[in-house]
Structure 1
Amino acid sequence: MAKRRVPTVDPMEETVRSALTFAEIGFVESQDPRALNLDFYLTTEDLHIEVKRFHAPRIAEQMSRAPNVIAIQGLDAAKFVARLIRNSKGRLQPNQSGTESLHQSKNADGLSG
Structure 2
Amino acid sequence: MSTTSSEDSSQPPPSVAIAGRLRYILSSVLLVPVDGLKPDTPLSSVGVDPMSAFLLAGLAVKAGLPLSYADVIGTATFGKLEALVQQRIEAADADVWMEEHYNSHPFAPPESSS
TM normalised by structure 2 equals 0.28
**Higher relative contact order by CA 8 Å / sep ≥ 6: 1 or 2?**
2
Q: TM-score, normalised by structure 1?
A: 0.28
Point out the structure with max Rg over C-alpha: 1
Q: Name the one with the larger strand percent.
A: 1
